[in-house]
Each structure stands twice: as structure tokens, then as C-alpha cells.
Structure 1
């Protein structure tokens, strides 16, 4: 009979496969991102391990961009938004999520803060909102103002990014000559303003965007010799 040898061979193969899988998993980060090794064999940290704070921010922004406006995402976006200037992207995403969650006035407030700072996505969003009447009643003049600022936004032009032509066409087909002149005048008087929080967040929300920095473990080098107490 050859059943036992075959069973033994199968068990050995399974053990070998499990061992290989364990080694592969050991070489991966906690999120499955593979580690690389330096020339001397040292395991190098992954991008997520090197910049956990940046990863949390980008992951949250990605979630909001695909329509995830859960309470967790809202809390993290609020935490980042309260950092003020430099986080207009989070303010824009927060405003759009609040509008999606039927908190229109609060959402427009956040979008306006980002748009006032010159954030193009916020300016574009406000142009659409005032044009379609998300606020309750369409406001073509304010729509035109934000559309003109968006189309001439220097941050887009400096990057060579072409503004969405759809917004311009909608403005041209909606505004009459008088409204267009008034909107252009308002855009001409616009100057950037950077929002600063006047209140503090509650401790729970303030903690949502905190990420503990990566710990760097110093490696000790022991030199053997008569002068070394460990010798």
C-alpha cells in the first residue's frame, strides 16, 4: 500500500506552502504593502510607515471623493479643516459631504471658506451650487462671480490645468448682460481671505486626525575588545 507515503508527502507540501506564506506576510507592512530591503539586507519602512499622517489625510480625501460621507470621514475632515490655511482641500471635501448629508448651509459655509482662500475646486463647486439652486433659490450673479474666479484661478494656470469648460458654458447661457457685468465686477473686487478658527474642537473630533509618529529604533553596535565591558 502507498497511502501513507502519499499522505506524508501531501502534509509536507502543505507545511512548506504555509511556511512560504508566513515568510511572505512577514515581509509586508500591516496594510499589505510590501517591504523592500536595502543592499545590506535591512528592511526598509513602507511609504505608509514613513508618513502615517499624510496617509491618513490622503485616505480620507479619497474616501470622500468616491462619496463616502460617513460620520467617521466627516469627523476626520472636520479635524483637518480646523487647521485652517493649507487644508482648503479638506474644507472643500467637508463642505460637499455636508451638503450631501442635507446640511446645506453648513456645507456652503465651508466651501466659501476654501473658495475665499483661492481653492479652485471650491470655487467651481460654489458656481454650480448657486447656478442650480442648491441653496434654495438660484443666484446667477454669485454663480458667475465664482465661475469667473475659477476660470482665471492662477493655481490652475500655473499647473497648466484647463478649467472645466462646462461651467463657463452654463454661465454664458444663464446670465444676461447685466448679471454678467455685475458678476465680473464682484470677481474683480475679490481678494483672497484665509479662514482662522475662532473656536476649538471637542477632544474626540480633534483626536481623529492625529496619527502617532513612526518610532525610530536606534540600533546599538557592540564592538568586541578588551576595553569593552561586554567583551
Structure 2
């Protein structure tokens, strides 16, 4: 995936307008139903990580905060296709922002040590952050107990204490892109959004003469 020319975000302080002066939607507003986003994330969860899915997830991921689901899915796809280093970077960005799925996944990866150097303390930190994630708790969603069970007998009391110290010091960080994606990737998540409503036609007021 090349990083080169045009940014995926539709930012800029001044909003673009069409020939009739109507404000044009930004890229973030062009997928009002979220179907492309949801499909791409679902494809990644199933391991269907073709070039098209990678492009779409990259485009969404480069919108930054608010697209941590795409960043997590992109990380999964990159790892599935053999790019472990960049895949972990994307998962960590989403985890740093407080995305619970990314925190859980990062804990599992660091504990297993299959695609990253095993780090019991850091894995326990992310597992604890996941289990206490306010995004889950506020919705009444119970964290996956299997994650906690996976740590039984895997870390020492000293490591657990250090993990608690890191949890207490943790604050969310929101990743912002410092590079750009090329135009092919940029176009991959540009979809037609809602068309603006037609201009209102003013109906002339019809008056009836006073007959009394």
C-alpha cells in the first residue's frame, strides 16, 4: 500500500460548494448508511483481506479518530497477509485511543507471542484496560472472560503489579495521520452519499378578492 499523493480525509476549514452554492458533503459524510465501512470491517473479521478490502480499510483508517474499528480491522488484515509490524502498529493506534476490540486483540497477541515478541506485562496492561473499558461498561456489555482466564498462571505477581502501575498511568492518545495515501486508495472509500434536496420552488401566493 503506497503512501504518496492525496489525503483520504476531506478536511479543510472551508467547505466546498457546488455551482448553486450548496455545501458539498465531505468524504466522512459520503457514506451515510455505513454499509461500505461495515462490510469492509466484516470482511476483515472473516479473514477476507483482498486488495480492495485493504484499500478501503486504509482509506477509512486515515480519517483518524472515530475510525478505530477500521484501524483494528486493517491491522488484522495486514497480520493475516504477513505484514506483522505494520499490522501491530494499526492495532496499537486503535488500542491507544481506547477501542475495546483493539485492546483485547493486542493483549492476546502480546501474550501469545506468535506475531510479536511476547510481553506478559504489556499484555496484562491491555487486558486490564479492556476489562475496564468504559465504552463496554456504559453499554452493559460484559468483557470476554476468556481473556482473563488466558492469563492464569502466565504472569507473576510482580508482573501483575507492574501492569497495574501502567494501567494507572495510561491515558488515551488519538492518532492523526502525518503522511498521505495515494489517489487509488483515496478513491476506494469515496461513495455516493445522499443527494442534496432539490431547491424549493416558491409558490406564488394566490389571493381572493374581498367580496363582502
- 1:173 shift after superposition: 2.2
Distance in 2 (CA, whole Å) between partners of 1:98 and 1:210 is: 22
Distance in 2 (CA, whole Å) between partners of 1:216 and 1:193 is: 36
Question: RMSD between aligned alpha carbons?
Answer: 2.2
Contact 2:84–2:116 (8 Å) recurs in 1: no
Q: Which protein shows a greater Rg? A: 1
- 1:219 shift after superposition: 9.3
Query: 1:116 maps to what in 2?
Result: 96
Determine which of 126, 131, 146 is the counterpart of 2:126: 146
Distance in 1 (CA, whole Å) between partners of 2:188 and 2:110 is: 32
Question: Aligned pair 1:211/2:191, yes or no?
Answer: yes
Contact 1:65–1:93 (8 Å) recurs in 2: yes
Contact 2:31–2:192 (8 Å) recurs in 1: no
TM-score, length-normalised on structure 1?
A: 0.70
Distance in 2 (CA, whole Å) between partners of 1:218 and 1:144 is: 56
| Equivalent position SS for 1:159 | coil
Query: 2:57 maps to what in 1?
Result: 77
Distance in 1 (CA, whole Å) between partners of 2:93 and 2:116 is: 20
Distance in 2 (CA, whole Å) between partners of 1:52 and 1:148 is: 34
TM-score, length-normalised on structure 2?
A: 0.76
Structure 2, unpaired ranges of 5+? 1-29, 204-212
- 1:183 shift after superposition: 1.0
- Written as runs of structure 1 = structure 2, the 5 A alignment for 1:6-25 is none
Structure 1, unpaired ranges of 5+? 1-49, 224-231
Contact 1:53–1:210 (8 Å) recurs in 2: no
Distance in 2 (CA, whole Å) between partners of 1:151 and 1:217 is: 45
Question: Aligned pair 1:106/2:86, yes or no?
Answer: yes
| Equivalent position SS for 2:185 | helix
Contact 2:128–2:167 (8 Å) recurs in 1: yes
Distance in 1 (CA, whole Å) between partners of 2:60 and 2:50 is: 16
- Give the structure with the larger helix fraction: 1
| Equivalent position SS for 1:199 | coil
Distance in 2 (CA, whole Å) between partners of 1:113 and 1:137 is: 18
- 1:169 shift after superposition: 1.2
- 1:110 shift after superposition: 0.2
1:74-103 deviations in Å (ceiling 9; x for gaps)? 000000000000000000000011111111
- Written as runs of structure 1 = structure 2, the 5 A alignment for 1:120-131 is 120-131=100-111
1:7-61 deviations in Å (ceiling 9; x for gaps)? xxxxxxxxxxxxxxxxxxxxxxxxxxxxxxxxxxxxxxxxxxx956622111212
Question: Aligned pair 1:162/2:142, yes or no?
Answer: yes
Provide the aligned length of Structure 1 versus Structure 2.
175
